[in-house]
Amino acid sequence: MVAVIVGGEIGFWVLLGAGLIARYLLRLPRLGALLLFATPLIDLVILVATVLDLRRGATAEFVHGLAAAYLGFSVAFGPSMIRWADQRFAHRFAGGPPPVKPPKGGPARTRYEWREWGKGLLGWFIASGLLGLGILLVGDLSRTQELFGWIARLTVAMVIWLVAFPLWATVFPKPAED
């Protein structure tokens, strides 16, 4: 499972790089779009590998939970990660405008923090749903304790994120830049 997750992460960046190279350096925008559009297929491969491993009788381990977390947050943040890379690649290699930077203060920063946390919450829902589905699919609580642990870890991480960023930015906002 570790190899599948590592391979998936490598595959994501390879497809992303290939899509950007095709789009901007080779001037093949359709091929570039196709390669970028294919990045979620990597998530599907990881999901299928995880389900097959658990269905074959494996006891859920740390990596099974990691696969669910990777999938959830990849779905939630994947489009914005691709936009982030696309802006930088277009600026560097195709004369595009400078990349958009997050606001440093004011109400815009607060909105930004809440939006990012909202994406994280979406990732949490997807990951927790996949973990819950894995628990139900296996149907043996003794083999799925690690999946329950992942739901708890992700929940704690989301609460810390909530307090440290969007709530902090709301209660103690930095002044807006001129």
What pLDDT, in 10s, does the model give residues 125-149? Answer: 999 999 999 999 899 999 999 999 9
HSE-up of 152 (CA within 13 Å, CB side)?
6
pTM of the model: 0.90
Chain position carrying tokens 């930004």: 112
Among 54, 57, 63, 60, residue whose Cα is nearest residue 4: 63
pLDDT for 169 equals 97
pLDDT in tens, 45-91: 998 899 899 989 999 999 999 999 999 999 999 999 999 999 999 99
Whether residue 155 is predicted with pLDDT greater than 80 in this model: the reply is: yes
Q: Which two tokens stand for residue 161?
A: 């994120």
The rounded distance, in Å, linking the Cα atoms of 62 and 43 is: 18
